[in-house]
A and B are shown apart, each in its own frame.
Chain A
């Protein structure tokens, strides 16, 4: 059964979104069951060294878990390159 998630890319990673999605930094995606964080990183050709801060529904996903973390219906996956502020 297909599932739908929200996929967000921010800062310099937003260049990897389709043009129409850049205004919101967000894209609605229909996924096959079993799709992981790593699968989407590969599908959007994100440079691995820029995949730094990965949040699912706001919660951090450590690098070691990204290959095995399966996305669920209704979740929001958001990714940033290395950034900071203050």
Chain B
């Protein structure tokens, strides 16, 4: 079966907790996690709702393979209307929280309303209760997790929580679980904070034994694990260097957004790369990287655990930061580093730890600092306004601004609104580098054309994880395409978007797709879940989910004009590298994409498309 077939509905306004059967008719059409929770959300929530109003809901959801023997089967997602974007939000996290929720017997939790006081939800199998969290309010993620585990007297309790960023209304606040895994993007933590919900603590002892055909499932998962182990990327490259190995690749290609996308190559990229993390420091003879790490059930283990140099100015008097902690991953290293012109690896790791500790997205934070540094460079923002000199390249400014944002102090409040709102306030909205108010990740769409279309059409605002065409355009997975041309990219983006929606609905990690295709996932789903899960039905499932999300955004007020890139990427050519002289071809790709999707020229799914997909 895969599913536990039970969900929790928690009304935070009146404190009621109800158990409901999972809607299996919907499960057969939307699978689980991203697809199924979004179906619930769209059926229950007005698309025009204020994300921070009690009427907005927040769903924590597992997939049918979460908690099972499937490799990477530890994923869970948070679905809501994003505080940063005002669009549908679905943020996906690894770690161990999702599997524990499944072990306790729950497919998902739907949070409604707003608690009159800070609370956290405690789940011990069937014993579920809201508890007072007044003593946790104002605490960091690290303090919250430690306090809850201590009070529950059970170190195997898994916790997801918000830090001070989520409490203070930082628009890109995360929900952090297992200390350094996060449902990171679009402000899902901000929504959680608006509901006075500090944390969810879960302990499950039931296991995940609801498999339709256990023998077939074990055979399918074993075969799929072999594919991951035998693949050079998932078997060797990712465990050894993590995602950070991309720093030099993307920089050499001239697709490394630098100094708020003014440049496409960063002169200090190597200093903050995966290779640099493996080198012994002259100060203490230790490597920055301590070890790799895996989430629940993962046989890839791409995670990074690092240790900051104790003599670095950022932590020299802060021994609490001297231990090993999560990071750096490529996206964070880019956003905190290249985007701001900061080439100090230790500073980036310190700020990354602050992001984990107080729960805010390092991509959006780093990119917002980049916009502030450009406003400072242009003389629009001053030292007096910011509280510190903030030129591009200043590690000290990056650190100070991160501490201010974490605490909600001074100019940190402005940074906490995100780059779109901040740049609009200072009269230069075009300097916000993002789509639908969400900041770009680490690929310049002048040098990787498909990513421009990916960003522009992503249902949750600019995001690389909705269709990672970098795999094809840069890495040759599954086939190599030319990153500098627009031809064929509409087809490529649609294919990646639809397939990714399936993986995001299954409980497995999208990083498996460096080795797996749907043909590797399908036998696992077919063995685990009742119903017909064929290659054809999965392909339709992905397309159905994508269109469902699109319908919500259209109803929320988004139109084709929101599927666009900032003018810089369309009018200021790349200055160096293979893309020198090129701008994004988004205006050429978008109409073709709409046509392939079966949408009108205005970006609206046609009645025929909706009928074909059962929407």
Contacts and interface: CB of A to CB of B under 8 A. Distances in A.
**Residue among A60, A82, A83, A85 facing the most chain B CB atoms (10 A cut-off):** A85
A83 B233 contact: yes
Interface string B236-278: 1110111111101100111000000000000000100011000
Contacts of A50: 232
B236 A58 contact: no
Which has the most chain A C-beta neighbours within 10 Å: B252, B254, B510?
B252
A86 B249 contact: no
Contact of B252 (A52, A55, A81, A83): A55
Interface string A17-35: 0000001110000000000
A57 B279 CA distance: 26
B504 to A, nearest CB: 13
Contacts of B477: 84
Contact of B232 (A8, A55, A78, A81): A81
Contact of B254 (A10, A24, A49, A58): A58
Nearest to B254: A58
Nearest to A26: B270
Interface string B268-302: 00100011000100000000000000000000000
A7 interface: no
A19 to B, nearest CB: 12
Interface size classification for chain A:
20 to 34
B252 A14 contact: no
A82 B514 CA distance: 10
Q: Which of B234, B330, B578 has the most CB of A within 10 A?
A: B578
B328 to A, nearest CB: 12
Contacts of B270: 24-25
A86 B330 CA distance: 7
Interface in B312-352: 330-331
Interface string A55-86: 10111101000000000000010101111111
A58 B577 contact: yes
A84 B233 contact: yes
Contacts of A14: 275
A59 B476 CA distance: 13
A78 B480 CA distance: 17
B3 interface: no
Given A14-B275, A25-B270, A85-B330, A58 B475 contact: no
Interface stretch (B66-74, B368-376, B462-470, B517-525): B462-470
Interface in B17-34: none
A11 B237 contact: yes
The 4 closest A-B pairs by CB, nearest first: A85-B243, A85-B246, A82-B232, A83-B237
17 contacts: A10-B248, A10-B249, A11-B241, A24-B270, A49-B232, A50-B232, A53-B249, A60-B480, A78-B248, A78-B252, A82-B233, A82-B237, A85-B242, A85-B249, A86-B246, A86-B464, A86-B470
